[in-house]
Amino acid sequence: MSTVLFHHDLGVVQGFLRFSRAVALLICAVALVVLAGWWCKRPLLTTMWPGQTAMTANAAVGFVLSGSSLLLSQHSSPRRSSFGRWLSLAVLAIGAVTLVEYLWMTDLGIDHMFGGPRTHGSGRWPGRMGEPVAAGLVLLGGLGLLLPVRRWLYLREGLAMGLLAIAMSGLASYSIALAGRNDMLFGRMPIHTALLLLLATLGWLSATPTLGLTRLATADTLGGVLARRLLLPALLLPAVFAFVFQLLQSRLGLPETLAFVLMALFSGGAVAGLVWWAANLFDKLERQRRESILLRNDAGTDILTGLANRRALDEVLACLLRSQREHDRMFSLLMLDLDCFKTFNDDFGHLAGDQVLRVTGHLLRAALRPADMAARYGGEEFVLLLPETDVAGGREVAARVLDAFRGFAWPYRAVTVSIGVAQSAFGDGAEDLIRRVDAALYDAKHAGRDQAVAAVALPTVAPSKT
């Protein structure tokens, strides 16, 4: 059983790499703006808009380092790639130290980068990020460190899934907060921090577009197209659902039961929308596939008779001859010529002649097995290829074809056919076999037409050495 190789769409692969670099630049830019806001004591620069939670300075430093590491990871210089891994290690260290501070309820001094008073009621320095953000930086640093190590691919993908969970939980919590409730688990995570975590995860995954989770998304298959179109909307749905549910319950004052019912309807509609989108995509791709098959078939099909054309015949004949040489698989070739066809055209016109050619294509297809091939060789000449068939089997097929022509109710006058039969032999080339079968056809013509003549069979295997 042959295995179909996994192919990637090169254009999509390049697009993923460009996306990764763009994400790295965006992360660095946003984080540098936040750091400038802390340095210049401009609160507006540390938030998305007035009144929202600010991104901490330590988180911004971690994002600058991670974005820089992502850019360096795609550089061709081993030295720069190695430096990028050191930056990822620094990101991991920032997150790990912050988690240690929370775990041991201590202050290790990394929260005082820009000084300032402690936050009222929380006992936290302005530079100390929330626990989910610190955990996200640990995972983000680990993702960068494991990028070049293929044997740790599954661990790297696990870190990416954890990051996606943190980012999506943060976005969902923020959506609920927008709808009027502020006591959520990740309510302290700033919206731009959650977005940068999401973008950073996607950027690191896109940096290796032919490995791991992104391997399917870059495939040149239907699965690849579906992954590229549907994965991102599916990631954003939880945040949208959370926002709608909380909005129905808090802002509109609906009872919890009614809010659940409406939420279920909304969820069903969203899923149905994704299914409809996928169905449209399937339909479009299937029509494109069928059009491609039709074009491919047209390139190898004689339009008038519906049989294979000379180009397709040459390709299949070459394959059969190669199989004969390599595996000693014989086959037979029949060449047919419509008797007195020029006279028929002169007497009844070319439209009647075309109809005879169409009927000939139908009769030949009906006389063959599925594995056999009928082709129009040129004009009124046709060729039949019969794999795994010796000269005796070729004669039987020729007899069926002769009977089919004799028994058909031709509209103007009876049409007969002369047939040459030849079996492939060891060392045959296409010209050798065609020459033998053409000579047999010539003999059939000169013996009175409406009959089949077989060429003398030659050895089908290499002569043994004594």
**13: its two tokens:** 């692969």
SS3 of 258-303: the string is: HHHHHHHHHHHHHHHHHHHHHHHHHHHHHHHHHHHHHHHHHHCECC
Of 156, 189, 220, which closes a domain?
Answer: 220
Q: C-alpha angle with apex 84: 83 to 88, nearest 5 degrees?
A: 120
Q: Which domain does 83 fall in, by range?
A: 10-220
pLDDT digits (tens, 9 = 90+) for 378-401: 889 999 999 999 999 999 999 999
Query: Does a structural domain hold residue 326?
Result: yes
Closest Cα partner for 94 from 110, 112, 116, 109? Answer: 110
Query: Does a structural domain hold residue 180?
Result: yes
pLDDT digits (tens, 9 = 90+) for 395-426: 999 999 999 999 999 988 999 999 999 999 88
pLDDT digits (tens, 9 = 90+) for 438-448: 999 999 999 99
| Residue 452 β-bridge partners | 419
Query: Does a structural domain hold residue 285?
Result: no
Of 220, 255, 287, which closes a domain?
Answer: 220
- What is the number of domains present in the chain? 2
Res. 121 pLDDT band, cuts 50 70 90: very low
Radius of gyration of the chain measured on its C-alpha atoms = 37
Q: Which amino acid is at 93?
A: A
Query: Does a structural domain hold residue 251?
Result: no
Q: Are residues 334 and 204 in the same domain?
A: no
Res. 184 pLDDT band, cuts 50 70 90: very low
pLDDT digits (tens, 9 = 90+) for 237-294: 766 766 666 666 666 666 766 665 666 666 666 666 666 666 666 667 666 666 666 5
- 4 pLDDT more than 60: no
Distance CA 211, CA 111 (A): 37
Res. 77 pLDDT band, cuts 50 70 90: confident
* All residues at 6 or more sequence positions from 263 whose CB lies less than 8 Å from its CB, including other chains: 241, 244, 245, 248
Closest Cα partner for 55 from 77, 84, 31? Answer: 31
Query: Does a structural domain hold residue 302?
Result: no
Q: Are residues 15 and 118 in the same domain?
A: yes
CATH at residue 418: 3.30.70.270
Active site residues: 380
Of 220, 246, 266, which closes a domain?
Answer: 220
- 300 pLDDT more than 80: no
Query: Does a structural domain hold residue 322?
Result: yes
Query: Does a structural domain hold residue 438?
Result: yes
Q: Are residues 212 and 328 in the same domain?
A: no
Q: What pLDDT shows up at residue 465? A: 45
Distance CA 13, CA 412 (A): 62
pLDDT digits (tens, 9 = 90+) for 311-364: 889 999 999 999 888 888 889 999 999 999 999 999 999 899 999 999 999 999
**128: its two tokens:** 């100390």
Closest Cα partner for 197 from 230, 169, 228? Answer: 169
Q: Are residues 164 and 56 in the same domain?
A: yes
Q: What pLDDT shows up at residue 340? A: 92
pLDDT digits (tens, 9 = 90+) for 186-240: 456 788 898 899 999 999 988 888 887 787 777 777 677 777 777 777 777 766 7
Q: Are residues 204 and 318 in the same domain?
A: no
Q: Are residues 20 and 142 in the same domain?
A: yes
pLDDT digits (tens, 9 = 90+) for 210-222: 887 787 777 777 6
CA 191 to chain centre: 33
Closest Cα partner for 122 from 105, 137, 134? Answer: 105
State what percent of residues in the chain have pLDDT above 70: 75
Q: Are residues 49 and 188 in the same domain?
A: yes
Distance CA 363, CA 382 (A): 12
Distance CA 456, CA 16 (A): 62
3-state secondary structure of 125: coil
Query: Does a structural domain hold residue 35?
Result: yes
